[in-house]
């Protein structure tokens, strides 16, 4: 099974204001929300893998598309792509 996930910071649990999503003006709130976005995205990937996905593509679709706080955790038999690494699908 192949899965494509597009994730944006607006809509992540706990984010309530636009300033919190701004990489230039958001300060620590933005940094904290990057971590939340990464955790929620990775939870979605985990669920997909548990359901049998063999190919998971995650597009970081917020602002400059460079919001993940760390790179993917590659697993055997799965292909995961994050942020600007997303291939043409």
Angle (CA) 38-14-11 rounded to 5° is 70
pLDDT, tens only, 23-41: 999 999 999 998 898 888 8
Domain boundaries, the chain: 2-85
pTM of the model: 0.77
Higher pLDDT, 9 or 88: 9
- Of 66, 77, 86, the C-alpha closest to 4 is 86
pLDDT at residue 21 in the model: 92
Q: How confident is the model at residue 11 (pLDDT cuts 50, 70, 90)?
A: confident
Q: Where does residue 52 fall: left (phi above 0), alpha (psi -120 to 50 degrees), or beta otherwise? A: left
Tell me how far apart the alpha carbons of residues 72 and 75 are, in angstroms, rounded to a whole number.
9
Tell me how far apart the alpha carbons of residues 18 and 8 are, in angstroms, rounded to a whole number.
12
Return the percentage of the chain with pLDDT > 70, whole number: 76
Architecture of the domain whose range is 2-85: 3-Layer(aba) Sandwich (3.40)
pLDDT, tens only, 35-82: 898 888 888 888 998 999 888 887 888 887 777 765 555 555 555 555
């Amino acid at each position: 099974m192949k899965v494509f996930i597009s994730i944006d910071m607006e809509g992540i649990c706990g984010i309530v204001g636009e300033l919190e999503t701004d990489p230039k003006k958001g300060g620590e709130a933005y940094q904290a929300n990057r971590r939340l976005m990464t955790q929620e995205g990775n939870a979605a990937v985990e669920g997909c893998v548990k359901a049998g996905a063999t190919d998971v593509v995650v597009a970081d679709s917020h602002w400059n598309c460079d919001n993940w706080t760390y790179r993917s955790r590659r697993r055997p038999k799965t292909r995961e792509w994050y942020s600007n690494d997303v291939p043409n699908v």
